[in-house]
């Protein structure tokens, strides 16, 4: 979810600190935490030179040390053949339970609802489950092409894609498709539109207002233990979460840096902030 921002911050950091090298690997948030934990367990002593950014807080974070970096705004998106401007969280949960399988059940066109999701390694999928689905997991994988189920006995059409770009491009081209992703990425794709949730449209600084926009989460930068003072990983983490990296986050649509005055308040009010 946060990889493009981290990549840009890493480029700026290396320009500011000549001779430093920061390698950014874009992968699912859960995979990142697993790799960090393995690297920490294998380290002879101290904290390895590895940092991972996670949407929210992983279920198991023993030995992990984190800093709040930014509040990210996510969006539920639908193919443009579905002209609905918004949905309630209750309706979305009904869709993902399989109680609603055609858009005409919600006042839309006669089109089957096709769920385009992320895989199990995705932190964005975890945020969607916790913030929108009330903690309930998504239905089983039933389709590879996102158009048809693998078995005629399957009630729900649900496919998975490896990354945000895959989800958004599929939603944009598959009639009746619904999915989710980061607000910034969704705004750059033609053929789909974002939905208001419970009457609230996704915007920057999204927790403001009452009721607040629900699909937001804090991005945390995690290390295995506390990195040594003066080390590259400690320096880059502080640059990202407390230094010039916060200015670059502010420039990204759908992100609110936690170390800004408004971000400090909103991140502090979020669970785990």
Q: In this model, does residue 104 exceed pLDDT 90?
A: yes
Share of the chain above pLDDT 90, in %: 60
User: Which domain does 243 fall in, by range?
Assistant: 3-71+215-269
Contact 100, 106 (CB under 8 A): yes
Task: Give the mean pLDDT of 96-125.
Answer: 96
The helix (run of H) or strand (run of E) holding residue 73 is strand 64-79
Whether 80 and 181 share a structural domain: yes
Task: Give the mean pLDDT of 238-256.
Answer: 84
Q: Smallest Cα–Cα separation from 188: which of 172, 207, 200, 205?
A: 172
Whether 115 and 184 share a structural domain: yes
Residue 203 forms part of a structural domain: no
Residue 174 forms part of a structural domain: yes
Q: Whose structure tokens read 């918004």?
A: 86
Share of the chain above pLDDT 70, in %: 95
Cα 56–Cα 58–Cα 62 angle in degrees, nearest 5? 130
Whether 64 and 90 share a structural domain: no
Q: How confident is the model at residue 24 (pLDDT cuts 50, 70, 90)?
A: confident
Angstrom distances, CA of residue 215 to CA of 21, 128, 183, 260: 34, 7, 10, 20
Whether 84 and 167 share a structural domain: yes
Q: How many whole angstroms separate alpha carbon 140 and alpha carbon 156? A: 8
Whether 119 and 174 share a structural domain: yes
Whether 222 and 248 share a structural domain: yes
| Listed residues 136, 167, 197: the one ending a domain | 197
Q: In this model, does residue 44 exceed pLDDT 70?
A: no
Kindly report, residue by residue over 124-181, the tens digit of the pLDDT. 999 999 999 999 999 999 999 999 999 999 999 999 999 999 999 999 999 999 999 9
Contact 53, 69 (CB under 8 A): yes
Residue 116 forms part of a structural domain: yes
Contact 38, 88 (CB under 8 A): no
Q: How many whole angstroms separate alpha carbon 251 and alpha carbon 167? A: 24
Task: Give the mean pLDDT of 14-24.
Answer: 91
Contact 224, 240 (CB under 8 A): no
Angstrom distances, CA of residue 26 to CA of 34, 53, 82, 115, 194: 14, 10, 31, 24, 24
Q: How many whole angstroms separate alpha carbon 53 and alpha carbon 177? A: 29
pLDDT of 32: 82
Task: Give the mean pLDDT of 174-203.
Answer: 95
Residue 204 forms part of a structural domain: no
- Higher per-residue pLDDT: 38 or 80: 80
Residue 249 forms part of a structural domain: yes
Contact 178, 76 (CB under 8 A): yes
Q: How confident is the model at residue 47 (pLDDT cuts 50, 70, 90)?
A: confident
pLDDT of 132: 97
Residue 168, Cα to own-chain centre: how many angstroms?
13
Task: Give the mean pLDDT of 200-223.
Answer: 80
Residue 158 forms part of a structural domain: yes
Kindly report, residue by residue over 72-94, the tens digit of the pLDDT. 999 999 999 999 999 999 999 99
Whether 67 and 78 share a structural domain: no
Task: Give the mean pLDDT of 179-189.
Answer: 94
Whether 126 and 90 share a structural domain: yes
| Listed residues 170, 197, 224: the one ending a domain | 197
Whether 20 and 136 share a structural domain: no
Residue 90 forms part of a structural domain: yes
pLDDT of 269: 81
Kindly report, residue by residue over 214-238, the tens digit of the pLDDT. 999 999 999 998 998 899 999 999 9
Residue 210 forms part of a structural domain: no
CATH number at residue 115: 3.40.190.10
| Listed residues 197, 223, 253: the one ending a domain | 197
Whether 111 and 226 share a structural domain: no
- Provide the mean pLDDT of the chain: 90
Whether 185 and 88 share a structural domain: yes
- 218 class by beta-carbon count within 10 Å (0-12 exposed, 13-18 middle, 19+ buried): buried
Q: Smallest Cα–Cα separation from 224: which of 83, 64, 67?
A: 64
In the chain, how many domains are there?
2
Whether 31 and 122 share a structural domain: no
């Amino acid at each position: 979810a946060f990889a493009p921002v981290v990549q840009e911050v890493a480029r700026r950091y290396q320009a500011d600190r000549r001779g430093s090298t920061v390698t950014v690997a874009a992968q699912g948030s859960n995979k990142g935490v697993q790799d960090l934990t393995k690297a920490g367990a294998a380290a002879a002593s101290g904290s390895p030179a590895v940092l991972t950014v996670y949407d929210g807080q992983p279920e198991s974070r023993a030995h992990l040390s984190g800093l709040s970096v930014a509040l990210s705004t996510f969006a539920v998106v639908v193919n443009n053949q579905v002209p609905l401007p918004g949905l309630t969280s209750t309706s979305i949960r009904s869709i993902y339970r399989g109680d609603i399988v055609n858009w005409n059940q919600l006042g839309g066109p006669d089109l089957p609802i096709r769920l385009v999701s992320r895989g199990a390694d995705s932190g964005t999928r975890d945020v969607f489950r916790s913030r929108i689905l009330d903690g309930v997991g998504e239905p089983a994988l039933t389709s590879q092409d996102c158009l048809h189920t693998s078995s005629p006995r399957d009630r729900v059409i649900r496919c998975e894609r490896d990354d945000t770009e895959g989800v958004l491009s599929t939603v944009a081209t598959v009639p009746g498709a619904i999915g989710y992703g980061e607000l910034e990425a969704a705004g750059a794709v033609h053929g789909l539109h974002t939905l208001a949730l419970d009457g609230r449209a996704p915007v920057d600084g999204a927790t403001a207002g009452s009721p607040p926009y629900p699909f937001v989460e804090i991005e945390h930068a995690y290390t295995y233990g506390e990195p040594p003072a003066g080390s590259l990983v400690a320096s880059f983490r502080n640059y990202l979460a407390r230094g010039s990296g916060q200015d670059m986050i502010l420039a990204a649509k759908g992100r609110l840096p936690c170390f800004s005055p408004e971000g400090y308040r909103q991140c502090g009010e979020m669970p785990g902030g």
